[in-house]
Amino acid sequence: MYKLLALNIDGTLLKSNGKLEKKTKEAIDFVKKKDVYVTLMTSRNFLSAKKVAKALKLDSYLVTFRGALVAKSLEERLHASVIPAQKTFDIVHVLEHFDCNVRLLHERYSIGNRKKIKNNMIAKTILGDPFFYPAQFVDSLSDVLRDDPIDVMKIDVFYSKEDECDEIVETITHAFPDVSLSVSDGKIELLPTNVSKLNGLIRLGNELGISLKEMVVIGDHLDDMPAIEAAGLGVAMGNASKEVKAVADWVTRSNDQLGVAYMIKEHFRKQHRPQFLRQIRTIEKK
């Protein structure tokens, strides 16, 4: 009996073209009718994730900014972790010595430098709808932060050369040992300490009274791996890497083949609503 379904967004729920298909929406409706709590876990900012949740008719807590913010709205939060303003400034000051593109992700907007580098991930990165999540670009981040310091949920660093990536990682790790750091697909992500999608799900589970073993987690990315491995049923998308598939209990179809809808129909059609099971047990006792 699984009580919670956690879904990554990009590469999992959405097809490669960014579309959310009708069959996927119907599958989410199907599992919700079985009293399963459905949430999203994503590296996206909260407002961007909330748009996807609205399209799925979800009014649940969302695990966003890769676990830094677990909330129903920016006002109704279960958990929030930030990189404090002074540390953000110090990190930016270090990063500006490298040839990299930096994005500071605040809960309500992003701010980045205008430096142009060759990196395909920059074009693919979702900055959000300007109406919901404004993106500002400046010549010098440190100058802006000196006048207007901000706490941030996450810092994205885009690099163009592998050797420079190694140097950035070594420098940041040495200078800021209490900041979480990960590298994938031409991007370095800096997060508050002890922040991850898995920890976000643990916090949500504690609030709802649902253990990890009662969760189904579906994802495709490297940052989904700990949650997939820890869940009662960890599912990798068909388009996931070998590393992600290796820790999964189940591998579904790819996102372009609507793997989420396929997995839900294959597994949850066998699961009854808790209320129905309680009625059956009551009848059996009589």
Region class of 197: left (phi > 0), else alpha (psi between -120 and 50), else beta: alpha
CB of 68 closer than 8 Å to CB of 153: yes
* Collapsed DSSP state (helix, strand, coil) of residue 80: strand
Question: 89-102 pLDDT, tens per residue?
Answer: 999 999 999 989 99
pLDDT at residue 281, rounded to an integer: 47
Rg from Cα positions in the chain: 20
Alpha carbon distances (Å) from 151 to 106, 144, 148 = 7, 13, 10
pLDDT at residue 232, rounded to an integer: 97
Residue type, 204: L
Report how far residue 270's alpha carbon sits from residue 272's, in angstroms, rounded to the nearest whole number.
7
Q: What is the pLDDT along the chain (286 residues), one digit of tens a residue?
A: 899 999 999 999 999 999 999 999 999 999 999 999 999 999 999 999 999 999 999 999 999 999 999 999 999 999 999 999 999 999 999 999 998 999 999 999 999 998 776 665 655 554 456 667 898 999 999 999 999 999 999 999 999 888 899 999 999 999 999 999 999 878 999 999 999 999 999 999 999 999 999 999 999 999 999 999 999 999 999 999 999 999 999 999 999 999 999 999 998 887 656 554 445 445 545 5
Closest CA to 42 of 162, 126, 135: 126
Residue type, 187: K
Buried b / exposed e along 80-94 (16+ C-beta atoms within 10 A): bbbbeeebbbbbbee
pLDDT at residue 161, rounded to an integer: 86
pTM listed for this prediction: 0.90
Report how far residue 120's alpha carbon sits from residue 170's, in angstroms, rounded to the nearest whole number.
23
Sign, CA torsion 84/122/94/195 = positive
Residue matched to tokens 């009718």:
33
Give the residue ranges of DSSP H helices in the chain.
Answer: 22-32, 46-55, 85-95, 120-124, 141-147, 162-175, 197-208, 225-230, 242-247, 259-268, 274-285
pLDDT at residue 131, rounded to an integer: 66
